[in-house]
Amino acid sequence: MKYMLIMRATDEAFAGMADIDFGKMLEIIGRYNDEMIRAGVLVAAEGLDAAAEGVVVDYSAEPPVVTDGPYGETKELFGGFYILNVASKEEAVEWARRSPMTGPGFKTEIRRITTIDEFPQDNEWVQKERAWREATGQL
């Protein structure tokens, strides 16, 4: 099963990271990533650019409204993610507990990633997506 670990932090937690040497931060995160690579559970891991560089497309109106960042409250944002292929939610939780990004204001949300097999296989659009995934080596 695949799980996404969604990394969240408050403004204060992000500000506290500004005092940490970037090389030291890369080493700390690198060790964590390497542990997951060696365990064979890491599928993907990416950090995200600052919210101020992003945009939001709000579908509450017609046409949708596009707003430049920054936007929303920090608690609504996430700064990066991991995708893990593990046997259970409990194993995903154990990997999240090992995260070096800890302390007041840091949180990790864990969500299972659904698979194409969970959708009606007789649906035309599911069949088209399955064909695309097979053609691109994703299945």
| Amino acid 2: pLDDT | 96
Query: Who has greater pLDDT, 18 or 97?
Result: 97
pLDDT 10s digits, 57-104: 889 999 999 888 766 666 667 889 999 999 999 999 999 999 998 888
Cα(137)–Cα(139) distance, integer angstroms: 6
pLDDT averaged over the chain? 89
| Amino acid 54: pLDDT | 83
Q: What are the domain boundaries of the chain?
A: 2-50+76-135
| Amino acid 44: pLDDT | 94
Residue type, 31: R
Average pLDDT over residues 38-65: 89
At residue 57's C-alpha, the angle toward residues 51 and 59, to 5°, is 145
Q: What is the pTM of this model?
A: 0.82
pLDDT 10s digits, 101-126: 888 888 999 999 999 999 999 999 99
Cα(8)–Cα(109) distance, integer angstroms: 8
Average pLDDT over residues 29-50: 93
Fold of 2-50+76-135: Alpha-Beta Plaits (3.30.70)
